[in-house]
Structure 1
């Protein structure tokens, strides 16, 4: 097991009716900017719960944050914060709203004129200060409610990048599974796949003797493979939604990534697909992952064999055959959740996709746990994904 430092200060308020308890999590004199997305919280009663819980505090609404939140939208919150004297942010929504709110929290305290520097040039401009924030989760997917990372897109340049800082941990997050019941099933499926791939990218690398982390990761994968199709078949089952909420949080709250190598290449490639072609984030992961695993199978074989046995019950065949069988089962699960998972199914040609590996080459990116997923590897992976 590798050395690690684990830090996670987020207070989770989990379960039905927990929104009412946010009153005790904010200062009584807080001036709150409530951020949200397309407006579903106005229709399904969640905003009313939040406003009731906030009581007499000064509250200002800021909506319209997109899936894959746009920098151009987020910076519009900054003059509102200044004008209204906002000193606390409350994100009410899914991962995109929470990610966007984390960026707003950092940008509001960043003295530079170009706030995009926090994202695109984060090494030179690390987050030095941020407004405090909390979240009320409505979509179980990204784990952003319990981590300090955010991903933001810039529509002008068709770029999508992330930032990370301990200053961007939410102070608290309300996770009421009932808040997810009104979601379109496409978003539910996206959430299952996003959580699944988060686990895979911290697990399917190479063995380092991290028995506890492996057991946690395998348990999460088994759970998602089990409950994903069941939720799609019975969307009203709150107990299943509660287990999805737990799995999504634990998939990316830092725990299973402690002391193990990780491989975020699927996410990095997927971000480029979203930035260029607008596909849902989870869909891009489902498109890329099976072909990345096949391309890297020889390097990941030990963990693929372990995954096949412990998650899917695959015990017959040579190590290579068992590794390939595990990949096939992963691909089958992703297809079951998402449907079509080929680039051509969404009108993306090989010529279109070439911009992605060109960006890898220009930026000299080397992704994966071994740093061997470069532009040429991306070309192989996306050609296979066509």
Structure 2
């Protein structure tokens, strides 16, 4: 292991913590409050946030969609530049936070904002950003990564830079009380795959990272098995904190990371509108089977330590079956059906986008070429 690790995001966790926004943003700042479709006005979060901002000068921008688009966020950037905004407060789930990170970076750039996503512009400065998390899933509230879609071309790309990492994050489990079942299930699955992308690679003897990853995976198994108790304060708090820990950089420090499931899954979301978490469940089991020769050791470790399986020549395959059963227990499918029956066309479309985006050698070993991606999609796309 060799790594440098720091997580500078201050976390305000627990019930009633939205009031911490008041002291977390300098009183002299002019704030842009960014949120999504308006659910925060129905569940009381908006009133709590605006009360916390009562001593600040602020304006608002709403309408950030699931899988935020550059087209929408460019409108926020125009407000930032026109009104002299110097602080962003994102109130929402991963999509709102990711979109706000994009806006924070684009506000400091005079060129085409999409340059940020293609790498044509290297982000070195951004507006400061804080957030109030309303949907536990992505971990975006305490990392420097964001995923944004260009709606015009159905391109969904990621960028990562420490300068857009939130300065603070409010995590109040009470805001989850009105979330639909589908979004809660998505949150469990999203966090699960985030952990797997950093854990299901190759044995490295990283006892802390492996042990912590396994603890988080076992948490999610329990939470899924207790899904009927999702109205419980403790259930909500544990999901919110587990999803945060899944992608705050700790379990990935100094170990190989994969992320191929995400790269392929992003294309399913961009092309067919599949929920992000559900795109991951569609891809992951088939990718694991395709990459068995590289992942067997960690799959066997996961089978023993997370699922409590015993040994055997087929332990790795048993583990993949258990992962699929885990998804199915949450009513999450492991095959794509949104392509509306034209399997060959769907596979060609995804492969074409992977090629367009230069995603030619994916995974921790760069062993998933377009040929392997096609094999994975042959299994992942329903007839």
TM-score tier (shorter):
over 0.9
Distance 2:4 2:331 in 1: 35
Where does structure 2 lack aligned partners over 5 or more consecutive residues? none
1:286 corresponds in structure 2 to 281
Note the C-alpha offset of 1:135: 0.2
> Aligned with 1:244: secondary structure?
helix
1:342 corresponds in structure 2 to 335
2:133 corresponds in structure 1 to 137
Residue pair 1:190, 1:338 contacting (<8 A) in 2 also: no
> Aligned with 2:266: secondary structure?
helix
Q: Deviations over 1:225-255 (max 9, x none)?
A: 111231x312311111111111111100000
Root-mean-square deviation over aligned CA pairs: 1.2
TM-score, structure 2 as length reference? 0.97
> Aligned with 1:333: secondary structure?
helix
Note the C-alpha offset of 1:346: 5.4
2:192 corresponds in structure 1 to 196
For the pair 1:307 / 2:306, whether they are aligned, the reply is: no
For the pair 1:117 / 2:115, whether they are aligned, the reply is: yes
Distance 2:92 2:74 in 1: 18
1:273 corresponds in structure 2 to 268
For the pair 1:241 / 2:269, whether they are aligned, the reply is: no
2:212 corresponds in structure 1 to 216
Residue pair 1:32, 1:87 contacting (<8 A) in 2 also: yes
Residue pair 1:360, 1:374 contacting (<8 A) in 2 also: no
Note the C-alpha offset of 1:5: 1.4
Residue pair 1:357, 1:376 contacting (<8 A) in 2 also: no
Distance 2:166 2:354 in 1: 32
1:384 corresponds in structure 2 to 379
Q: How many residues align?
A: 379
Note the C-alpha offset of 1:54: 1.2
TM-score, structure 1 as length reference? 0.96
2:352 corresponds in structure 1 to 358
> Aligned with 1:74: secondary structure?
helix
Q: Deviations over 1:302-350 (max 9, x none)?
A: 00000000000111312xx000000000011012123333113652523
Distance 2:312 2:78 in 1: 62
Distance 1:213 1:364 in 2: 27
Note the C-alpha offset of 1:360: 3.0
Residue pair 2:281, 2:333 contacting (<8 A) in 1 also: no
Residue pair 1:33, 1:88 contacting (<8 A) in 2 also: yes
Flag as ranges the 4+ runs of structure 1 deviating above 6 A. none
Distance 1:151 1:209 in 2: 31
1:175 corresponds in structure 2 to 171
Distance 2:69 2:142 in 1: 21
Note the C-alpha offset of 1:111: 2.4
Note the C-alpha offset of 1:270: 0.3
Residue pair 2:354, 2:360 contacting (<8 A) in 1 also: yes
Distance 1:381 1:339 in 2: 18
2:362 corresponds in structure 1 to 367
Structure 2 vs 1, CA of residues 315 and 118 (structure 1 numbering), >3 Å: closer, same or farther?
same
Residue pair 1:286, 1:338 contacting (<8 A) in 2 also: no
Of the three residues 312, 316, 333, the one matched with 2:326 is 333
> Aligned with 2:135: secondary structure?
coil
Distance 2:103 2:177 in 1: 28
Note the C-alpha offset of 1:364: 5.4
